[in-house]
Amino acid sequence: MSRPSTLPMLCAAALLGCGSGEEGDLPASEPGIATPADAAASDAMPADWIAVDDAARTVTIDLVAGETDANNRWNFNGYAAGEATVVVPAGYTVTVNFENRDPAHHHSVGVLARAASFPPYFDDTTPVFDGAITPNPTSMTESTAPGGGTASITFVASEAGEYALVCPVPANAVTGMWIGFEVSESGDSGLRR
């Protein structure tokens, strides 16, 4: 399936690379773009990095940037471009313990509105839920540091819906550094792939 948006996205990434002097660091391949319909195709399954406590109504997510070299390390727990979706029950308090194991680049994570694609630059990084974004989220030098930097965020997933866990550092989300984030009315939890 070819998408008409591919060419403008590549141009945007290339322009950004020229401006920042880091063109060679951008991921070389164009990742596929998942849609909400793709994400809904399978059941959520347990994952060892998503701990759900139904009695306490909490979810603790150990989210790692660059854990694998997928998408040139611009991934969350090895997933990029919406190829997995974290599912949490509506009303639960969610803590994301974020660690950046990419050896080279700063990264961030925030719960933002789901979109078919994301821009190279974010004008507005107000998260969907209060507190649901790591510090200095668009900074290439002040967001969570490479080589093991950490940040922790806690928020209440107060409204059911389809959202995304996105890295708003320039050029990251547009080249695939995002996965789905679903707040389920039914109480489902885990990882949908």
Q: Does 177 bind Cu ion (CB under 5 A)?
A: yes
Please report, as residue ranges, which positions from 69 to 108 form the binding site for Cu ion (by CB under 5 A). 107
Site string for Cu ion, 152-171 (x = CB under 5 A): ---------------x-x--
Under a CB-based contact definition with an 8 Å cutoff, are residues 5 and 119 in contact?
A: no
Residue with tokens 């550092």: 169
Q: Which stretch binds Cu ion (CB under 5 A): 43-51, 115-123, 134-142, 176-184?
A: 176-184
Q: How far is the CB of 137 from Cu ion (least distance, A)?
A: 10
Q: Does 151 bind Cu ion (CB under 5 A)?
A: no
Size of the site for Cu ion (CB under 5 A): 5
Which of 94, 26, 120 lies closest to 110 in space, CA to CA?
Answer: 94
Q: Beta strands of 5-136 (E only): which ranges? A: 50-53, 58-65, 85-89, 93-100, 110-113
Q: How far is the CB of 117 from Cu ion (least distance, A)?
A: 16
Q: Does 128 bind Cu ion (CB under 5 A)?
A: no
Which of 25, 42, 32, 35 lies closest to 106 in space, CA to CA?
Answer: 25
Q: How far is the CB of 175 from Cu ion (least distance, A)?
A: 9
Measured from the CB atom, the residue of 91 and 149 that comes closer to Cu ion is 149
Under a CB-based contact definition with an 8 Å cutoff, are residues 168 and 14 in contact?
A: no
- Residue 183: which H helix or E strand, with range? strand 178-184
**Residues at the site binding Cu ion, with contacts judged by CB under 5 A:** 107, 167, 169, 172, 177
